[in-house]
Amino acid sequence: MVNKAIFKSYLGKLLPGTDAANHEGAPAYRLTAREALAQYAVTGTFNGTFYADGVDQFDAVKALALEVEPEFLAKVAIYAAEKGYMKDMPVMLLAMLAGLQSDAFAHAFPRVVKSGKMLRGFVQVMRSGVTGRKSLGTRPKKAVQAWLERASTEQILRAMVGNDPSLADVIRMVHPKPSSEERKSLYAWAIGKPYDHAALPKPVKSLEAFRRDQRGSVPDVPFQLLTSLPLTREHWVEIARQGGWQMVRQNLNTFARNGAFEVSGFAEALAARLSDPAEIHRAKVFPYQLMMAWRTVDSQVPNLVRDALQDAMDIAISNVPAIEGNIVLCPDVSGSMSSSVTGYRKGSTSAVRCIDVAGLMTAAFLQRNPKARVLPFENEVMHIELNRRDSVMTNAGKLAAIGGGGTNCSAPLRTLADEKAKVDLVVFISDNESWVDARRGGQPTAMMAEWARIKRFNPAAKLVCLDIQPHATSQAPTRDDVLNIGGFSDAVYGVIAAFAANRKGARAWVESIEAIEL
């Protein structure tokens, strides 16, 4: 017979009381400053989400940044850029770091600012005054100058695409000191000043020649520098062949609109490239980016190109881990998950919703772990039949189609506990804003109460709460058997696999950030 005194003590340890409230006002557990900052860093976009607008997110990040040391702030910025593939968040953290008395800024800058787009983003944040100043300052100015001098001609040309500020604005602002006549002429050409044509880099000479006469070869430069010219469909074919994999993926409708698919052999060549494993891995493509491309291509794009995007999806998810044991996947299909995964941006809101990402990640896990059980939830667990042999796109679409209702994170756990099911790993993919099952403040959440019931029969079971939008609370506190993690990049799969295999503890995610060397 169970010793009730011991068991009662055991349950007490399993059921900590709540110490915060989520955006719905329901009791929740507060994440540590490091956990919360990491959560925002790889999920926040400073655009409006279902629960918070960009200003709210910025204020939260700014407050959290003041609670950690500069070195950790630098590591978070690097992690968000290198592992999370974020754009806005890393440069904002870098701008905050610029105002602190620490060498961490100098170490982080070259690892965060890898492109002209990131450079312009950093300058924009610094000059906006949101981090406390409207001028660059000596250290940031020197860092920008150093980037310009290190950058290749190709990087400079790519940096010329975009405004507010433009690259010309940046050059005028920091006055880089050119190390050669070629670089001197390049800077002058970029800002519209007189320059020595003979000293210009070869790609710029080719661009200028093509601008004068389109009968020559298409220069290997960003196509945005050519769109004001009268381009033929053959020109667009050449642009596609020269462009990077991500550029091709993003501009399928543009190629169709300009007649490129009417050129014999182009569709076949493009489809082969889109499904090339080496190019896909080199492009570090997010599966959700492939989903977005697949969903938004218009009818003028040939079917074999659409099929190539599905093939690319299977390749892109190849690093999703196969995990031993009894796995349960719990995608949140509630109403709040219908918001855009990158938030609302006037004129450029992503067509991909949180529920699409939840469905996609669930379908990817299911394909690699065919014995996994799927329990979608909103107010209650939703029953759905998924064919494990269907494509990831098909199963993700089925999951996304059942969205609506409130958020009840305890529902899947209650189902498992009632069944006394054998469980080794439960993965929630949600915004974790549970409110249907809310209890009084200070009590354990319903989710933790049901998890305690599961632990009676599965003492080694582990729980992962994957948050795909930024929040500073969770329905389950981080501890040895509970991992809170944010984001939807490839990096999260490795962290989950390591946690499931006992190679790292529940702080694995934060520890992976702390392990970055400056």
- Summarised one tens digit per residue, pLDDT across range 461-479 is 999 998 887 677 888 988 8
HSE-up of residue 101 (Cα within 13 Å, Cβ side): 0
Residue 443 pLDDT > 80 = yes
Per-residue b or e along 168-187, where b marks 16 or more CB atoms closer than 10 Å to that residue's CB: bbbbebbebeeeeebbbbbb
Residue 255 pLDDT > 60 = yes
Report the pLDDT value the prediction gives residue 23, as an integer from 0 to 100: 81
Q: Decide: 39 and 471 in contact? Cβ < 8 Å.
A: yes
| Coil, helix or strand at residue 213 | coil
Across the range 112-118, mean pLDDT stands at: 94
Residues 165 and 248 in one domain: no
Residues 75 and 144 in one domain: yes
Of residues 439 and 453, more confidently modeled: 453
One-letter amino acid at 115 equals S
One-letter amino acid at 38 equals A
HSE-up of residue 26 (Cα within 13 Å, Cβ side): 19
Report the pLDDT value the prediction gives residue 291, as an integer from 0 to 100: 83
Residues 249 and 324 in one domain: no
d(CA 349, CA 351): 6
d(CA 109, CA 141): 11
Residues 138 and 242 in one domain: no
Helix (H) or strand (E) holding 418: helix 410-419
Read off the tokens for 197: 């044509």
Cα–Cα distances in angstroms (integers) from residue 374 to residues 45, 82, 112, 395, 414, in the given order: 29, 31, 37, 11, 14
Residues 280 and 193 in one domain: no
Domain edge (last residue) among 316, 339, 356: 316
- 320-325 long-range Cβ contacts below 8 angstroms, 24+ apart: 320/364, 320/365, 320/367, 320/368, 320/493, 321/368, 321/493, 321/494, 321/496, 321/497, 321/500, 322/368, 322/369, 323/369, 323/425, 323/496, 323/497, 323/500, 323/501, 324/424, 324/500, 325/424, 325/425, 325/500
d(CA 411, CA 375): 9
Domain membership flag for residue 235? yes
Report the pLDDT value the prediction gives residue 295, as an integer from 0 to 100: 82
| Cis before 287 (ω within 30) | no
Question: Percent of the chain beyond pLDDT 70?
Answer: 91
Report the pLDDT value the prediction gives residue 346, as an integer from 0 to 100: 52
Across the range 17-30, mean pLDDT stands at: 84
d(CA 36, CA 467): 11
Residue 389 pLDDT > 80 = no
Report the pLDDT value the prediction gives residue 64, as an integer from 0 to 100: 87
Domain edge (last residue) among 218, 249, 281: 218
Domain membership flag for residue 17? no
- Domain residues for 75? 69-218
Q: Decide: 286 and 315 in contact? Cβ < 8 Å.
A: no
d(CA 70, CA 382): 45
Note the pLDDT tens digit of each residue in 214-239: 998 999 999 999 999 999 999 999 99
Domain membership flag for residue 160? yes
Residues 194 and 234 in one domain: no
HSE-up of residue 413 (Cα within 13 Å, Cβ side): 29
Residues 485 and 350 in one domain: yes
Residues 302 and 343 in one domain: no
Report the pLDDT value the prediction gives residue 50, as an integer from 0 to 100: 41
Of residues 64 and 403, more confidently modeled: 64
Q: Which of 276, 484, 306, 500 is nearest to 393 (CA)?
A: 306
d(CA 322, CA 326): 11
Per-residue b or e along 236-252, where b marks 16 or more CB atoms closer than 10 Å to that residue's CB: bbbbbebbebebbbebb
Residue 3 pLDDT > 60 = no
Neighbours of 82 (CB within 10 A): 17
Q: How confident is the model at residue 447 (pLDDT cuts 50, 70, 90)?
A: very high
The CATH number that applies at residue 393 is 3.40.50.410
Of residues 347 and 227, more confidently modeled: 227
Domain membership flag for residue 183? yes
Across the range 444-455, mean pLDDT stands at: 93
Note the pLDDT tens digit of each residue in 151-205: 999 999 999 998 889 999 999 999 999 999 999 999 999 999 999 999 999 999 9
Helix (H) or strand (E) holding 327: strand 327-331
Q: Which of 276, 270, 267, 159 is nearest to 222 (CA)?
A: 159
Note the pLDDT tens digit of each residue in 25-59: 888 888 889 988 888 887 766 544 444 455 667 78
The sign of the torsion formed by the CA atoms of 168, 174, 176, 177 equals positive
Q: How confident is the model at residue 330 (pLDDT cuts 50, 70, 90)?
A: very high
Q: What is the number of domains present in the chain?
A: 3
Report the pLDDT value the prediction gives residue 123, as an integer from 0 to 100: 94
Q: Which residues contact 419 (CB under 8 A, 6 or more apart)?
A: none
d(CA 370, CA 418): 24
Question: Percent of the chain beyond pLDDT 90?
Answer: 50
DSSP letters spanning 238-307: HHHHHS-HHHHHHTHHHHHHTTGGGSTTHHHHHHHHHT-HHHHHHHT--HHHHHHHHHH--TTS-HHHHH
Of residues 70 and 291, more confidently modeled: 70
One-letter amino acid at 197 equals H
Domain edge (last residue) among 171, 203, 218: 218
Residues 306 and 438 in one domain: no
Q: How confident is the model at residue 360 (pLDDT cuts 50, 70, 90)?
A: confident
Residues 369 and 499 in one domain: yes
Domain membership flag for residue 228? yes
Residues 355 and 253 in one domain: no
The 3-class SS string of 82-123 reads HCCCCCHHHHHHHHHHHCCCCCHHHHHHHHHCCCHHHHHHHH
Residue 294 pLDDT > 90 = no
Residue 302 pLDDT > 60 = yes
Q: Give the mean pLDDT of the chain.
A: 87
Q: Decide: 29 and 477 in contact? Cβ < 8 Å.
A: yes
Domain membership flag for residue 62? no
d(CA 302, CA 304): 6
Note the pLDDT tens digit of each residue in 370-379: 889 999 999 9
Residues 410 and 495 in one domain: yes
Domain membership flag for residue 198? yes
Report the pLDDT value the prediction gives residue 1, as an integer from 0 to 100: 44
Q: Decide: 139 and 105 in contact? Cβ < 8 Å.
A: yes
Please state whether the predicted TM-score (pTM) of the whole model is above 0.75. Answer: yes
Report the pLDDT value the prediction gives residue 159, as an integer from 0 to 100: 95
Domain membership flag for residue 126? yes
